[in-house]
Amino acid sequence: MRAIRHLRKWHFAQPEPDILILDGQQRLTSLYQSPMSNQPVHTRGFKGKAIERWYYIDMSAAAAEEADREEAAFSLPEDRIEWKFGDETGLDLSAPDHEYAC
């Protein structure tokens, strides 16, 4: 399935793409909002519930020669703390100094 949406009155030649983005608007919006905003991204969880997430890129993992760049990107809930089981915390980026140290 391929749909073309023209921008107002302009029509452009349609080159054959090298890659296609199949994931849709939610991920693209999140990818744009995360570096351009100083607020969490409003999105939806797996069950369709409205949630807010902070998105990060592990730069060391992303820059590695054999990196899986998709695995280098991750998100944390609104409090920026990864909660494991019970009260046990994992990654805590709730303060700027925690973010910088990571």
Tens of pLDDT, residue by residue over 29-71, are 777 777 778 888 888 888 889 999 998 888 888 888 888 888 8
The single residue listed with the structure tokens 């920026």 is 80
Kindly state whether residue 92 falls inside one of the protein's structural domains.
yes
In angstroms, the Cα distances linking 26 to 31, 89, 97 are 9, 28, 30
Residue 77: pLDDT over 80: yes
In the chain, the number of structural domains is 1
Kindly state whether residue 86 falls inside one of the protein's structural domains.
yes
pTM, rounded to two decimals: 0.62
Tell me the per-residue pLDDT of 13-38, one tens digit each, with 9 for 90 and over: 667 777 766 556 666 777 777 777 88
Kindly state whether residue 15 falls inside one of the protein's structural domains.
no
| Cα–Cα dist 86/43, whole Å | 25
What's the domain range around 76? 25-101
